[in-house]
Structure 1
Amino acid sequence: MENYGLNIYREFLLLNTPGVATQQQMSRSSSVIAHELAHQYWGNIVTCHWWSNIWLNEGFATYYSYLGQNATNPEFEPIKQFLLDGPQYAFALDSREKTSYPLLLTAKTQSQFEDQAIGLPYYKGACLIRMMHGFLTPDTFHRGINRYLKAWANKATEQDNLFDALTDQGHEDGTLPLNLTVKEIMDPWTKQRGYPLVRVVSSEEDTVYVHYEQFKSSRVARQTEHAYWPIPVAYATEDDSNFNDHVPKFWIPEGSLMRTIKYNTSKWIFVNPETTGFYRVVYDKKLTQLLHNQFNKNYKVISPMGRSQILDDYFSLATQMDIPISMALDFTKYLGQETEDICWTVPLKHLRRLYYFYSEYELTLDSSSKNVPKKYFEGFRNYMVPKLEGVLNKIGLEQLPTEIGSKVIFRARLLNWACRLGSKKCLDYATRLFELWKFDELVNPIPIDLRDSMYCYGVSAGGAQNWLFALQRSVNETNTKDALVLISSLGCVKDERILKSLLESTLVGESIDKLRMSVIIDAVADNPLGRPVLMKFLKDSIPSIQKEFNTSFNSVVYRAFMKLGNHLHTEEELLELQSIIELHSSTIGDILPAVSSFATDVSENIAWMSKHYEPMKTWFDKQTKSSISTI
């Protein structure tokens, strides 16, 4: 928490020992420290006049935390990471009914402010600051910020005070036209909900039309009427592939929805390189194909941030609007060569439902099933595993003792996916590490950053014997974090009887704390074999959970239904979940609305499968069959 001259942190954010804390934890600590230090300027030296302008505090602290971390811990690549945490996260928030609202808050009550003062003021606020940084140029922007801080030191401000300082600096430096003000540009971005979708359309051989509309997600019932934004348009081209030039080549101003530019349409064009402007971009079929070709021919011509953003734009448009999912999936063909975490994170995020559902059918359906083939997701697995293994070969399967930073985090992410999808290379690695540990219990050969996945798949592959080893180690482990990881691995076993006993053990004997119970629930819910076991446990045991956990009851039950809401995706599962909620409605009364909302999540999973599974299955099957035919 930032205070004038005194920052206060939770212990776990400061007391991270190298070799004991994971790189993910180290990155988190570095980021939070930088954020709170940034508040000494934005929030303390200059603060917002009222909560409606809270983005002036939180947006700046968020944006500068990435710049600060880049100065102190560049191994975490925070400038690249900002693309995931900033624009891509803010786009997602601003596409949902419950979390989309104007950045200049209009809330009237304390509870409304509490709901709105999280999320967008931090991340959309940071994105709009980055956009001003781009169209004003870095030098002008920083001089303008110094001007603002000096003029308003120890005072309270509104957004117009910031815009005036930047306008004066832009006019003085000649980077902002004299007939234009930052307020005129930025007011529409802060006073309207949502954001633009820019469409780039080729016409004949030498003309490109650039026009925009509001991004109209299926998740948002209310759209802003007559929404407009002054849009800065920078772009890179096949002949001039400078993705570091963020200065607008032209603007789409107020009152105009389209601009025409002369361009050779036989070559690709890339609008909004590195997403300096807060808008998504989609191209017509011809221009999209040219970009597909470039990705497959030499993807490195497109910057890593550019590659990441076009993946996110196309997957978001395919799942929330109306472009074919194949247009997004075609951008993944090159992934076996991709060694950038920010580029892999996007497709893994958008394919997470297939990741959640994959093993369920592999493990639970036998060959006599008439409804769904045993190899329901075979094409998905056969497409993804070689690409995952290809990248692991490039970056190295094993973590070196001296490795730190984003590469370590990236490897852990890839291994988790690879093992989940049945990669023999990954599962053999997990088994080998686990067996080495069993051979000499005093020397744990599993790197701290890989323990989440390696413990899980070591237990999964080794059955009851490895499960008992992990159980005993969790009892003896003195490091709380590692003990929790071991407890989580207990939920990975492929034995329904053991999973049932694990859940039942939380209600008998020595009392178990809420944290450990939550870890067990998460692990069992993540295990395809465990979900029916968890539902049966909830159906039979909610009164016992209430008796055992008392004041923690609500949080434990909430967690269980939330995890099930992430994974369940059939009509039968939805009916079963609803029946459990109805059966225990009086017991869970305090959190009944929240728990009921997770049934809505299952309905959304069902709708997603209905819309996207068959087109995805067809696409994956086609790719894997064509790969086999060329061998």
Structure 2
Amino acid sequence: MSKGVYVSKALAVSIIVVTVLAVSSIITMLVVYNIQIEKNPPQRPPTNSPTTPFPTGPPPNLRLPGDLVPEKYNVYLQTYFYTRLSNVTNQTFAFNGNATVYFKCLKTTKKIFMHSKDLNITLFRVTDENGDVVAGRLTLWDDESNFLEVELESALKANKNYIFFTTFEGEMFDDLAGLYISKYTENGGNYLTFRYLAASQMQPTDARKVFPCFDEPAMKAIFDITIIHRRDTTALSNAKTKESWVTTIDDEQWLVTHFYPTRKMSTYLLAFTVSEFKEEKSDNLVYTFKTWARPEAVDANHTKYAQEKSIEILMFYEEEFGIPYPLSKLDQIALPDFSAGAMENWGLITYRETALLYEEGVSSTSNKEWIVTVIAHEVAHQWFGNLVTMKWWNDLWLNEGFATYISYKGVNKAEASWGINDLFVLHETQPVMQVDSLASSHPLSSGEKDVQTPSDITELFDSITYSKGAAVLRMLSDYLTETVFQKGLKSYLKAYEYSNAEYKDLWSHLQMELDKVNSEIRVEEVMKTWTQQMGYPVITINTTSGEVLQQHFLLNQTSHYNFTWQVPIKVMKSGSSTLEADLLTRKGPVQKVMYQASGNQWLLANVNCTGYFRVNYNPQNWERLLKQLESNHKNIPVINRGQLIDDAFNLARAKYINTTLALNTTKYLRNETEYIPWESALENLDYFILMFDRSEVYGPMKAYMRKQVYNLYKYFEPYTMNMTVPQGHTEQYNQINAISVACSNDLEDCKETASKLFREWMNNASNKIHPNLKSTIYCNAIAAGGEEEWDFAWQMYMNATIASEKDKLRYALSCTENVWILNRYLSYTLDPSKIRKMDSVSTINYIARNVVGQSLAWDFVRSQWSYISQEYGGGIMSLGSLIDGVTERFSTVFELQQLRQFQKDHGEGSFGSATRALQQAMERTEANIKWVQENKQTVLEWFRRETTNL
């Protein structure tokens, strides 16, 4: 999210911008913006202070002192770039501008602290409300504080209003942070048809790269924005255009776009774009709603699906939250280069193209689901995050966890037939439990003092914040009832609109609703155990005695923390349709009749996985559950069939049960056609593949997988051979699983089909492969093929104009088994003309997933780390995912030594936002080493035994 200081770029900016543009830009600003400076000439600041650990007399930490509060900004920006180049075009990515911030002094002070980063401040002036100048000296601190400090000759007085004016210069890079430049081709053409656009990504701490500001979420203000840009471009910002006119500057004509003032909002939610893009718009709404994209995408109707679903979801949220959409317009724009999936800027949501553009017959079911899910997430933020914002980044989970949780409701409204709510456990709960079972995890709510630097903040944009946050809110909603939860949300949003809140404020409003129905539930007491403690419990139930207890679940060690959770538990028993509920508040063991099962009766806890915990049972109950799966698996709810598999595998890794018991939960799958259990099994068996695909265990394992998937593959074969898909949403996903598992485990029918379909595409230039099946067909055909297949796919990738098609091909290219091709592909990830910067990390991780490419990717990352961390570490593109991806397979002492040496070579403090990921990689590797040593022989014998008769 934030990027370090790059000396070479700073020098380049100084040389180019100062020498070429400084004089003309200052004159331009004085004339065009009609700034009244004649009476009180601004002061020119001195050169930057050298980097020091901290300036003399700064705030006690890296936070703004809070004695000054902004109320309004007037910001003028002029971008100089051309969207199109000709032989005589002199392209420049410089920008300049001025900013006037009106602020109130709450406490008498002789210092002003704001934020500024990578800007050349050319002039500044401080005046009081009477227009009198307050003289001072400006210093820019070149450290992690990014402070702009003004030491004043006379004090600012409490309860008085002041004005701080600056002119500044900067440059747009392709770093996907702040105000940046993006390059794309029109109609899939070559470099002669390059087009350029400017876009912004301010979250979390990059508004300061665009203009000097109070860059903290609680420092909300009104923003009055004016952008001066080339005449053939369109400028967008958070608010509607108020007026625009053509003006002449330095004998050139420019378009000036002035926007209406925004609502009171945080700096990180500001957004600007300047482009040649075209819009899809909807009429007959209370507000203006437009979807912007490359003209060719709009002309081809690729924005139509997103436009329709966005409006449906927006209207649903208005009813759900009880507050109309707060702004007069909402624009959403598909950007060719964007670091995150999307960003919820208030009134101007920015997306990757893959998260907004949909083409019937080209985009897959998963592409469509991704689009609706991202839209539902970002539109939810317009209320939860934008209207009401967390006070500080330590409560980021309140923004992101809620948007993730509520997005499932939004998707369910837009596409009711999908049954998306059932997929929550697969997409959110199970994946994040893997991370949260490590000792290097972190609580949802950290202390404010623990989140100070931009790197600290960036680290919080992880699965704990998004997925665990969503999972505990889902658990709370189920526990309180959805009616109470929804009423509490409405009350909370109304109470804190246009302001900031902490998570405890939400608990208090939920409590108020509970008190109305005389509930004995104490929300804060329950939820502090889930937000202030890392990890989660495993609930162990003895169905013979009725004893139940909880323990902190960790994969590779005994917990040293004295954690106790308040755990809502729902149980069902065979032969009964009644659910029983309990709140376990003690460690235990405690004895309760509801946890007893009689005779051959089995008990199932955490029905539909509404709770964020794992469940272990006594051996007899496990045996009865396995027998039920074998005899009639449909008697157990489908979500819980997936849960039994996921819990069993993770309990085995943590040594609560034997590994063979976990493997036994997969035996019934030969008769299962539902997606959730299969996906849970494949995600967990994937760990076995990672641990053993370089050993003798892999052969018998592949034979077992061929046996288990055979019926599933045959079940979907009629669809596959006809290049069609079943009607059901999850059935379509399971068809992909059937092909992927069958082909990767050497089922010959599958491999031949994949190669045949790909070869037909190569020969006929007409792709008849169904969009759903492209990724897996491409991958398996390229794995079975050679240079010819890879080069064809690469050419198709370079020519593709649809981002989702490019993504499918980019993944498939990593599947080759040719080492030299993979090495060449790795080198492409550092060339933005081949692999866009936003895709480089995921491409390296794709290669690392390939057993042939894993060591190549690790060597590549180590050798290129300094360059990668500098050039690719900006924006929300956290390098933690790169560390995680290239080390996922590590399971030997030698690999652990390499990890430690990697840390030593670069220094523990040099990994920034990837620091926690590196710690987790080492912890995970230690656990993998131990697990492989203890289980390899047992696993080998189990797979051999299960495949003896094949």
Question: How far does residue 14 in structure 1 lie from its aligned partner after superposition?
Answer: 1.7
Which aligned pairs between 1:100-179 and structure 2 lie closer than 5 A?
Answer: 100-103=442-445, 105=447, 107-111=449-453, 112-116=456-460, 118-173=462-517, 176-177=519-520
Structure 1 contact 339–395 (Cα < 8 Å) conserved: no
Structure 1 contact 62–122 (Cα < 8 Å) conserved: yes
* Matches of 1:274 and 1:71, distance apart in 2: 20
Q: Is 2:693 aligned against 1:352? A: no
Which aligned pairs between 1:504-515 and structure 2 lie closer than 5 A?
Answer: none
Question: How far does residue 322 in structure 1 lie from its aligned partner after superposition?
Answer: 3.2
> Structure 1: which amino acid aligns with 2:746?
G
> Structure 2: which amino acid aligns with 1:400?
T
Superposition TM-score, scaled by structure 2 size: 0.56
> Structure 2: which amino acid aligns with 1:392?
Y
Structure 1 contact 274–306 (Cα < 8 Å) conserved: yes
Structure 1 contact 23–404 (Cα < 8 Å) conserved: no
Partner of residue 576, structure 2 = 240
Partner of residue 612, structure 1 = 935
* Matches of 1:506 and 1:114, distance apart in 2: 23
Which aligned pairs between 1:5-154 and structure 2 lie closer than 5 A?
Answer: 5=327, 6-12=347-353, 13-103=355-445, 105=447, 107-111=449-453, 112-116=456-460, 118-154=462-498
* Matches of 2:394 and 2:909, distance apart in 1: 34
Partner of residue 567, structure 1 = 889
Question: How far does residue 289 in structure 1 lie from its aligned partner after superposition?
Answer: 0.6
Which of 411, 416, 422 pairs up with 2:746?
Answer: 422
Q: Aligned in 2, Cα 1:190/1:474: closer, same or farther, shift over 3 Å?
A: closer
Partner of residue 432, structure 1 = 756
Partner of residue 273, structure 1 = 607
* Matches of 1:587 and 1:103, distance apart in 2: 28
Question: How far does residue 64 in structure 1 lie from its aligned partner after superposition?
Answer: 0.9
Q: Aligned in 2, Cα 1:499/1:47: closer, same or farther, shift over 3 Å?
A: closer
Partner of residue 621, structure 1 = 944
Partner of residue 187, structure 1 = 528
* Matches of 1:516 and 1:56, distance apart in 2: 28
* Matches of 2:690 and 2:476, distance apart in 1: 39
Greater mean deviation of Cα atoms: 568-577 or 191-200: 568-577
Q: Aligned in 2, Cα 1:321/1:266: closer, same or farther, shift over 3 Å?
A: same
Partner of residue 365, structure 1 = none
Residue-by-residue CA offset, 1:470-525 (whole Å, 9 max, x unaligned): 355445545455456445545544444555666678899x9876578767755554
* Matches of 1:512 and 1:151, distance apart in 2: 46
Question: How far does residue 270 in structure 1 lie from its aligned partner after superposition?
Answer: 0.8
Residue-by-residue CA offset, 1:89-116 (whole Å, 9 max, x unaligned): 3423322233222536454342345434
* Matches of 1:48 and 1:221, distance apart in 2: 34
Residue correspondences, number: 596
Q: Aligned in 2, Cα 1:292/1:452: closer, same or farther, shift over 3 Å?
A: same
Partner of residue 778, structure 2 = 455
Q: Aligned in 2, Cα 1:26/1:107: closer, same or farther, shift over 3 Å?
A: farther
Partner of residue 734, structure 2 = 410
> Structure 1: which amino acid aligns with 2:947?
T
Identity percentage of aligned residues:
25
Question: How far does residue 303 in structure 1 lie from its aligned partner after superposition?
Answer: 0.9
Question: How far does residue 265 in structure 1 lie from its aligned partner after superposition?
Answer: 4.4
> Structure 2: which amino acid aligns with 1:425?
D
Q: Aligned in 2, Cα 1:521/1:97: closer, same or farther, shift over 3 Å?
A: same
Structure 1 contact 379–624 (Cα < 8 Å) conserved: yes
Q: Aligned in 2, Cα 1:356/1:426: closer, same or farther, shift over 3 Å?
A: farther
Residue-by-residue CA offset, 1:607-626 (whole Å, 9 max, x unaligned): 3322332222222222222x
* Matches of 1:505 and 1:133, distance apart in 2: 47
Partner of residue 546, structure 2 = 208
Higher helix share: 1
Q: Aligned in 2, Cα 1:265/1:183: closer, same or farther, shift over 3 Å?
A: farther
> Structure 1: which amino acid aligns with 2:780?
Y
> Structure 1: which amino acid aligns with 2:376?
A
Structure 1 contact 460–494 (Cα < 8 Å) conserved: yes
Q: Aligned in 2, Cα 1:427/1:500: closer, same or farther, shift over 3 Å?
A: same
Question: How far does residue 324 in structure 1 lie from its aligned partner after superposition?
Answer: 0.7
Question: How far does residue 193 in structure 1 lie from its aligned partner after superposition?
Answer: 2.6
What RMSD over aligned residues (CA atoms) do the two structures have, in Å?
4.1
Unaligned runs of 5+ in 1: 362-372
* Matches of 1:558 and 1:162, distance apart in 2: 31
Larger radius of gyration: 2
- 3-state SS of paired residue (2:947): helix
Structure 1 contact 488–520 (Cα < 8 Å) conserved: yes
Which aligned pairs between 1:208-607 and structure 2 lie closer than 5 A?
Answer: 208-209=546-547, 211-219=548-556, 223-225=560-562, 227-241=563-577, 249-253=581-585, 257-261=589-593, 263-356=597-690, 360=694, 376-396=697-717, 398=720, 399-400=723-724, 405-441=729-765, 443-474=766-797, 476-479=799-802, 481-483=804-806, 485-486=808-809, 488-496=811-819, 499=822, 521-522=844-845, 524-531=847-854, 542=863, 551=871, 564-570=886-892, 585=905, 604-607=927-930
* Matches of 1:70 and 1:507, distance apart in 2: 39
Q: Aligned in 2, Cα 1:45/1:264: closer, same or farther, shift over 3 Å?
A: same
Higher strand share: 2
Question: How far does residue 236 in structure 1 lie from its aligned partner after superposition?
Answer: 0.8
> Structure 1: which amino acid aligns with 2:576?
D
Question: How far does residue 568 in structure 1 lie from its aligned partner after superposition?
Answer: 4.9
Q: Aligned in 2, Cα 1:451/1:360: closer, same or farther, shift over 3 Å?
A: farther
